Structure formats: structure tokens, C-alpha cells
Chain A
Amino acid sequence: MVTKASDPAAAHSLDFSVIAARASRRRRQQLRLVRDASLYMVMSAGSIAFVMPFVWMLSTSLKAAEQVWQQPPVWIPSPVVFQNYVDAVTSVPTLTYLKNSVLIAALSIVGLVFSSSLVAFAFSRIEWPGRDAWFGILLSTMMLPSQVTMIPVFVLFFRLGWVNTLKPLIVPSFFGSAFYIFLLRQFFMGIPRELDESAIIDGANPLVIWGRIILPLSGPALAAVAIFSFVGNWNDFMGPLIYLNRTDKWTLPLGLLAFRNKYGTEWAQLMAYSTLVMLPCLLVFFFFQRYFIQGITLTGIKG
């Protein structure tokens, strides 16, 4: 020991520096606390603003007509009028719209997951002549505004007699989609090559490798594709608007629009109907959040 216990000055200065260090640590902690508190405040204010419209929609959907018009606005409906939902749903053929929406969404998911994963497999894990050129074409089609092909594709389906059927909204899914192919390819690239190679040695053909090795390892990416395509189809408006004129073929968004035109000022019922149309997407979102995040991340960062 170098420090002499008999030297009071040394002991004192040591004590002082310890105190100073403690004080500065405490000040830093306090600063951190202030910083975190203000961050929380900003984030909470922002997220309340983002969610408020939906709370307002729900609130309106449960109000009696008088309360809808009340100023200043009331947030908690009293009485709570569930009848708005019943009235909204029964005043138009909602069941038909729902059936059509579900049919389109379900079949499109099957088509997109199946064919996009197959094509993505071909672009990421097998060599074939012209592959890179085709991939370049695939990427460039993502740049092409859909309006360029919209009219000839409409004419094609019109000539096939498919207008006013659900086919134009389902069949193209079975040819894959550039966006999902790109997303899945990004994911497949990350799966170790050795798996394919050892399977080839065992005599597996590409179809077996795709079905038995790649797909089982790609759960999260396939889920992301399924979820995105569900939300995309469920919310799609322009497609059904163009192809479906007969009311018995309408989807929920078209039904909602017709509902508005029929009952323009019935805000409580209109908000009830909007809530119902949104509900499946919201549920899917709350149960499968992480796949949304993963899927978007997969397409975004490596662009």
C-alpha cells in the first residue's frame, strides 16, 4: 500500500473524488430520466393521435342518432346502440359481399404463396440459362404502373367473358407476383446452400428440395406473403370496381360504397359498417404483427 493512513490530505482528496463521481452519476441518471420521460410523452401523444380516428369511429358506430350530432362531441356513447351494426349489415346483402371477399382473399393467398414461392425458388437456388436477365425483367415490372396494363388486361378478361365474375381477381394470383417473388427470394438466399447439395446427393430433384427443405424453413416469410396478400386483397378497391358491376358479385368495399350512397347521412351505421369491413385486417394485424414487420423489412433494407 502506498497511501499512508497517516496522511489526512490524501484520504480527504480520495473521498472527494468519490463523492464527485457519485454526484455526476446521479446527475446523468436524472438527465436520462428527464430525457426518457419527455420521449415517452412525445411518443404517447403521437400514438394517441394515430389511434384516435379509430376510437372515434368505434364510438360513433355505437351512438344513438341524437348523440352523433351532439356538440361538443361525446366519446362514450350512452346508451350503447349495437342495433347500428344489425341495421347496417341487414340493409344491404352483406353476406353476399362477405362471401365474395373471403373467396377472393382465400384463393389469392393459395395462388400467391404457391406460385411466388416456386418462382422465387427458381430465382434463388437453381441455375438456369437466362435467369439473371429474367430476374432483371421481374424487378423492372415492379416499376411499371399497373395502369399501363390495366386496360388491355380488362379487354382480355372482357373477351373471355370473365367480367362480372370473380375470376379476374383470382386467376392472376396463380402466376405469382413480382413483389412477393422478390420478397421470398431475399429470404431464400439466406438459407444455407449445403442443405440443397446434400439433398441432391441423396437424389432429390428441385421440386422435392422446394417442397421438403425450403418451404418448411420459410414459415415466417410465407406467412408474411400470405398476410400481405390477404390485406391487399381485402382492401383492394380498383380491381373489384373495374370488374364487378353486378351487385351479387360485389366485395365488401364495393358494398360499403353502395351503402354510403344509399344512406349518406347515417353516420352511426356507416361507421358501424366501416368497422366491420376493417375488423378482419385489424385482427390479422394484432395476431400476426411480427410477420408484417419482418416482411416489410425483408423488402425494404436490401433494395
Chain B
Amino acid sequence: MASPWIIGFLVFTLGPMIASVYFSLSEYSVLKPARFIGVENFARMFSNDPRYWISIYNTAYYTVLQVPLGIVVALAIAILLNQGLKGENLFRTAYYMPSVVSGVAVSMLWLWLFDPTLGLVNDVLARLGISGPRWLQDPAWSKPALVLMSVFGIGGTMVIFLAGLQGIPESLYEAAMVDGANWWQKTRNITIPMITPTIFFNLVMGFIGSFQVFTQAYVMTNGGPVNSTLFYVLYLYQNAFRFFKMGYASAMAWVLFFIVLALTLVQFRLAGRWVYYEAAAPTAGR
């Protein structure tokens, strides 16, 4: 009964993976048969393609800002929504809604919001006495603009945090109350340690997602201005489907895979130092 997936895995994952290894070692434009060229794609990528390094830099920049910011905001909202106040459902809806409508339509909306003269973002800033930057038209601000926009899509992360928070036994807080702990002490010493597994999960997923940022950049900036939003997957897409360098794009895909894998493994190694697993916790779901 698992055969649909197993067949799908062989046809759409394993087979393509093997083909992808071969393509990455070839010159290939779909229209002509692949020509084996060894590691030339990789050599060119690392030593002879400045745009490749720009795309790495942009993606790393975006990730370093976006992932921690997303986690902090999502966690802060989740903690607020977990205080047992009335009307939490309504608030949760408001925070979650933007993440449901991702993609091109939202990119259009933010293109309008970020307009330097007519956009709402700079209008709000002006009311606070700040003269806003030119956002997507300024290479220094285009990446921060996309990071800011991404904060509105943290609904899913927030819900996972909420679930984690609701899994913390009430008895811990009661014991802390008896000891006279204040709100900050409870957050610092109970809440945060108890949800480190959830933070870890969101961190790993956040890195994987952030390294694949594409739609916003394609729709809103198409990599510009001056390559400042040329992200890794956007450049990969351009190589494959605009320049028809399928071999080079395959090589890029494999490097992406190893970057994501390495980041994930590093996080798993570091996790031992800060992620707290309850010794007696039932291994749920196994």
C-alpha cells in the first residue's frame, strides 16, 4: 500500500537525483544531448562566476537577518497569545492570516507598500518623523525590505510555538509561583528551556526555507537593483530556464543541497548544548 509513494520516489526523486549528478558534470541545454565535462561546472562556479558569489552573499545576508528575527517575533507573539486572555482566537487569526496568502499576490501588495513616495511603509515612517529609504530601489535596503516583509509570514512558526507552549506542564509554573518567581523569571527559567526543542525545530526549518527564497525576489525585484536581491535559487532558476545552462544549474542545486545539509548537521551538533529534552518525556508518535 505504500507503493504509490515508493514508485513516486523512484520516478520523481531517486531517478532525478542520479540524473542530476550526471547533469552537474555535463554541459546540457535540454535541446542537445548532455556532454560530459567533469567538474568544470563546479570549478567555474567557485572561481570564475562573480554573480554566483553575489547570490551566496545575498542569501546568507537574508538568512542571517530573517531566521532569527522570524523566530523572535513568532515566539514573542506566541507567548502573548498564551496568557489565557479572552479573544485570543481573534488575535491568532489576525497574526496567522497573512501567512496563508503567500506568493505572487502578496508580492504585488508589498511592491505597492514599499513604493518610496506613495507606499504605506514610508508614510507610516514619515508620521514618526523618519524619512524612509527607497527600499526595493536601493541596493542597501532591498534585502532588509524583503526581510521585513517575511515577518508577516510567520504565522506557521507562531502556531508551532503555541503548541509547544501549551505542552509545558502547568505544575512547573505553580511551583515557581510558590517560590515567588516573577513573570520574567518564569519565562527565562521555565518557558524558554521547555520549548528549546520547538525553537530548534523552527530554526532548522527556517534555515532550509530561507535558503530557498525565490518568489518575492523574482516578482518584486527580479534580482535587482544591482544584483542586490539575486538570491541563490533565483540565480539557479535563471541559469536553468533563461540561459538553458541545465548542467550548471544542476551543479548549483547540489551545492545548495550540501549547504543546507551542512547547516542542519551543524545545528544538530550544537543542539546538544542548548536544547533541553525532558528525560521522562514519552516519545510521542513512535
Instruction: Give chain A's interface residues, CB within 8 Å of chain B.
Output: 36, 39-40, 42-44, 46-48, 50-54, 56-57, 60, 68-69, 71-73, 115-116, 118-119, 121-123, 126, 128, 131, 134, 137-138, 141, 143-156, 158, 172, 174-176, 178, 181, 186, 189, 206-207, 210, 231, 235-238, 241-242, 253-254, 256-257, 260, 267, 270-271, 273-275, 277-278, 281-282, 284-286, 289, 292-293, 296-297, 300-303
The answer to whether A301 and B120 touch across the interface, beta carbons within 8 angstroms, is no
Q: Is the interface of A mostly helix, strand, loop or mixed?
A: helix
List B152-174 residues whose CB lies under 8 Å from chain A: 152, 156, 159-160, 162-164, 167
Question: What band does the interface of chain B fall in when counting residues whose beta carbon is under 8 Å from A?
Answer: 35 or more
* A175 lies within 8 A of B5 (CB): yes
A-B residue pairs, 10 tightest by C-beta: A175-B8, A300-B160, A47-B94, A235-B103, A152-B16, A152-B19, A122-B1, A122-B2, A149-B16, A253-B104
A53–B98 touching, CB < 8 Å: yes
- CB–CB A238/B120 < 8 A: no
Given contacts A40-B85, A51-B94, 6 further A-B contacts (CB under 8 A): A51-B97, A148-B17, A151-B16, A189-B286, A271-B112, A277-B105
Kindly list chain B residues whose C-beta atoms are within 8 Å of the C-beta of A48.
94
Min CB distance, B85 to chain A, in Å? 6
Q: Tell me whether B50 is interfacial, beta carbon within 8 Å.
A: no
Residues on the B chain within 8 Å of A52, using CB: 120
Measured CB to CB, the nearest residue on chain A to B246 is A151
Let me know if B95 is at the binding interface, CB within 8 A: yes
- Specify which of B19, B80, B101, B208 is in contact with A281 (CB 8 Å cutoff): B101
Q: Which residues of B contact A296 (CB under 8 A)?
A: 156, 159-160, 163
Interface 1/0 per residue, B15-54 and A, CB below 8 Å: 1110110010000001000000000000000000000000
B108 near A145 (CB under 8 angstroms)? no
B4 touches A293 (CB 8 A): no
Q: How many Å lie between the Cα of A257 and that of B111 in the bound state?
A: 12
| Among candidates B109, B212, B249, residue contacting A274 with C-beta atoms closer than 8 Å | B109
Question: Does any Cβ of A come within 8 Å of B7's Cβ?
Answer: yes
**A152 to B10 CA separation, bound complex (whole angstroms):** 13
Contacts of A128 in B (CB 8 A): 2
Contact of B208 with A237 in the complex, beta carbons under 8 Å: no
- Tell me if B60 is interfacial: C-beta within 8 Å of chain A: no
Task: Say whether, besides A172-B12, A301-B163, A270 and B101 are in contact (CB < 8 Å).
Answer: no
* Nearest neighbor of B183 in chain A, beta-carbon distance: A35
State the CA gap A136–B208 with chains docked (Å): 19
Q: Determine whether the beta carbon of A237 is less than 8 Å from that of B96.
A: no
> In the complex, which residues 58-109 of chain B have their Cβ closer than 8 Å to any Cβ of chain A?
77, 80-81, 83, 85, 90-98, 100-106, 108-109
Contacts of A241 in B (CB 8 A): 218, 241
- For residue B116, give the distance in angstroms from its CB to the closest CB of chain A: 12
CA distance A106 to B34 in the complex (A): 37
Residues on the B chain within 8 Å of A172, using CB: 8, 12
Is there contact, CB below 8 Å, between B80 and A71? no
Q: How far is the CA of A3 from the CA of B248 in the complex (A)?
A: 94
Contact B96 A148 (CB under 8 A): no
A-contact 0/1 string along B193-227, CB 8 Å cutoff: 00000100110000010011011001100000000
Task: State whether A53 touches B120 (Cβ < 8 A).
Answer: yes
The answer to the question of B147 belonging to the interface, with a C-beta cut-off of 8 Å to chain A, is: no
**CB neighbours of A257 from chain B (8 A):** 104, 219
Please choose the segment from B133-141, B184-192, B232-240 that sits at the chain A interface, where 4 or more of its residues have CB less than 8 A away. Answer: B232-240
Check: B270 CB closer than 8 A to any chain A CB. Answer: no
In the assembled complex, B266 has its CB within 8 A of some CB on chain A: no
- Shortest CB–CB separation between residue A254 and chain B, in angstroms? 8
Q: Would you mind naming 10 contact pairs between A and B with Cβ atoms under 8 Å apart? A: A71-B117, A116-B5, A143-B261, A145-B212, A149-B13, A150-B240, A176-B4, A189-B285, A278-B105, A301-B164
> If the complex has contacts A151-B23, A271-B112, are A118 and B8 also in contact, measured as CB distance less than 8 A?
no
Given contacts A253-B103, A257-B104, contact A57 B109 (CB under 8 A): yes
B250 & A119 in contact (Cβ 8 Å cutoff): no
CB under 8 Å from chain A, chain B span 243-262? 246, 249-250, 252-254, 256-257, 260-261
CA distance A131 to B1 in the complex (A): 11
Q: Does B178 count as interface, using CB distance less than 8 angstroms?
A: no
B277 on the interface (CB 8 Å rule)? no
- In the assembled complex, the Cα of A260 lies from the Cα of B111 at a distance in Å of 11
